[in-house]
Amino acid sequence: MPHILITGANGQLGQALTTHLEPTAKLTCWTRPHYDIADPAIADVVAETKPDVVVNAAAWTDVDGAEAAPQFAFNVNALGPKYLAEGCARCDGTLVQISTNEVFAGEPGRFYHEFEQTSPGSVYARSKAAGEVAAATALDRLFIVRVAWLYSAGASNFPARISAAADRHGALRVVSDEFGNPTYAPDVAAAVAKLIESQRYGIYHLVNDGWASRYEWAVELMRLTGREALPVDPISANEWPRPTTPPPHAVLVNQAGAALGIALRDWRDALHEYVQSEFNK
């Protein structure tokens, strides 16, 4: 039974990983403030813990907040993976570094494969791209797993916020010119487990199949929750100002994982399961 250490175990993906891996692995689950991956000493703790695999699901994910606090974002998202990778190198462990579609510029009409050149724009995106490089510099036994638009039941995420806004206002205005891959955290957890078993290190895009705009995602959520009559108006990203501008079309293609037989289901099917879990309790 492999020993797997999960950082950020209380987050959306961390919880999904814990649920999926618990029956088949010995798990060590780390959360802040008890374990801070931005502390250089965390490398020593990893080496002493001697996991077979570390899955780094810990991250600074406040995209807009990173613009005002770049040092903190880089501490967690860039130095954190470096220290974890160093710890893994000392105990012959493997690291699964969770990254993001936002490492790409998201040029309109582009679809991004695993080995394309990154071009991050925001502080958050640059910190995550730096984490990929830092981990790869310190460790060969490395999986870089990029995800996009992650969500799961019982968490604060786009579907939860959209649903709450629909209940509160009785109508929605949703950006229609930002595109990505809505991705269900339990599906990523299952795919990560298969990836670990493969021992084929490298860069992977583990996202649900297909892609959508924020607007299309919201419309499908309203349909699945029986609120298809609720008005949903498409707006441009310029009409929804933010401290940072997300990449407009950072749509990922799962080529490397699919070549190993690791493919995630259509995003609409995953959203249906999410609705069953979140709204039919």
Residues 6+ apart with CB under 8 A from 238: none
Using DSSP's 3-state secondary structure scheme, residue 173 falls into: strand
**If you search the block for the tokens 């991705």, which residue do you land on?**
183
pLDDT tens by residue, 107-152: 999 999 999 999 999 999 999 999 999 999 999 999 999 999 999 9
Q: Tell whether the model's pLDDT for residue 87 goes beyond 70.
A: yes
Q: Tell whether the model's pLDDT for residue 97 goes beyond 70.
A: yes
pLDDT tens by residue, 228-267: 999 999 999 998 888 888 999 999 999 999 999 999 999 9
- Report the relative pairing of strands 172-175 and 232-235 from DSSP bridges: parallel
Compute the average pLDDT of residues 14-33: 96
Global pTM value: 0.96
pLDDT score of 243: 85
pLDDT score of 281: 60
- The first and second tokens of residue 55, run together, are 């899955």
pLDDT tens by residue, 177-230: 999 999 999 999 999 999 999 999 999 999 999 999 999 999 999 999 999 999
- Catalytic positions, written as ranges: 124
Compute the average pLDDT of residues 38-53: 98
Percent of the chain with pLDDT over 70: 100
Distance between CA 125 and CA 134 in Å, rounded?
A: 14
Residue 89 has phi, psi (to 5 degrees) of -60, -35
Distance between CA 233 and CA 231 in Å, rounded?
A: 6
CA angle 48, 19, 92 (to 5 degrees): 25
Distance between CA 204 and CA 58 in Å, rounded?
A: 18
- Report the relative pairing of strands 111-112 and 150-151 from DSSP bridges: unpaired
Residue 258 half-sphere exposure toward CB, CA atoms < 13 A: 12
Alpha-carbon torsion angle 187, 193, 194, 195, nearest 10 = 100
Which of 117, 116, 124, 123 is closest to 99 using CA atoms?
A: 124
CB 220, CB 270: distance < 8 Å: no
What is the separation, in whole angstroms, between the first and last Cα of the chain? 33
